[in-house]
Amino acid sequence: MTASTQYRSGFACFVGRPNTGKSTLTNALVGSKVAITSSKPQTTRHAIRGIVARPDAQLIIVDTPGLHRPRTLLGQRLNDVVRATWSEVDVIGFCVPANEKIGPGDKYIAAELVKLSRHTPVVGVVTKTDTASKNQIADQLMALQDVLEFADLVPVSAKDGFQLDALADVLVTRLPEGPQLYPDGELTDEPEATLIAELIRESALEGVRDELPHSIAVTVEEILARENRDDMLDVYANLFVERDSQKGIVLGHKGERLRTVGATARRQIEALLGSKVYLHLHVKVAKDWQRDPKQLRRLGF
């Protein structure tokens, strides 16, 4: 790094309606899984920070929930998280998939971003280019120009790595000059318990019926070292649903589904913690928790 290229550090966030590839893009840029991904919309519920370390910069990506018209108190809280994040970052990436027409949901977000774009640069990011033809990608880039005046436009694919470095370059040039904000080697500032809860929730989301995703919440109660075992941790977690009927769906026939969820989550938790894990997972009913302020607080929202 020459004297003329100063070290930069700061925050970026990806916004977009649900399921536009924001979490997958965050994980691809960080080079490690810090945000959970699922084919179900509304998977992300917290602003997760992933850290991209480069010789010339430290880019901290805040992955936000998808902005949507809320139908529950949880939905409103998620939208509040998004707006609070937008107001605090140095650059915003507005994500729109290459293979879907720009719709009312995108325009709703763009209208919010217009107010911010006066003082925070907004970069248009066309995601999922691996699912579209060259013409589709070109059309999408043209269509985006009519939506908002962007500081830059970048087509990317998190899946095959297309233009990820170019996107990182574009974001980094918009960061202020400044020192490193996190120690070398750190990939996220999320507490381990939060990451573990998210991995369990991701495993539970796979293969459930459509009505269930929003109803699942996970809390990690304790992480304890197993007595007389250096290589084993006991993780105690609760998986909450809103109704008894949903509890049946999560448990599955004779508890088979829950065992699969537990086994999938355990493998990921072991990779995260670098230790053998025994996962104690219990399913509980917290009636209509998405609409109840007291229960939302208890579950971390």
Residue 46 has pLDDT above 50, yes or no: no
Distance CA(301)–CA(293), nearest Å, equals 9
More confident residue, 188 or 255: 255
Beta-sheet strand order (sheet of 91-97) = 48-54, 57-63, 8-15, 91-97, 122-127, 152-155
**What is the predicted pLDDT for the residue at 19?**
79
The pLDDT-based confidence of 34 (bands split at 50, 70, 90) is: very low
H helices then E strands: how many in the chain? 9, 9
The pLDDT-based confidence of 36 (bands split at 50, 70, 90) is: very low
Mean pLDDT, to the nearest integer, of 115-144? 92
**What is the predicted pLDDT for the residue at 143?**
93
The pLDDT-based confidence of 66 (bands split at 50, 70, 90) is: low
Per mean pLDDT, which range of 58-62, 149-153, 207-211 is the poorest?
207-211
More confident residue, 72 or 132: 132
Distance CA(225)–CA(180), nearest Å, equals 33
**What is the predicted pLDDT for the residue at 7?**
92
Question: Tens digit of pLDDT for each residue in 97-124?
Answer: 999 999 998 998 898 888 887 889 999 9
% residues pLDDT > 70 (the chain)? 82
The pLDDT-based confidence of 18 (bands split at 50, 70, 90) is: confident
Contact yes or no for 63/22 (Cβ under 8 A): yes
**What is the predicted pLDDT for the residue at 213?**
55
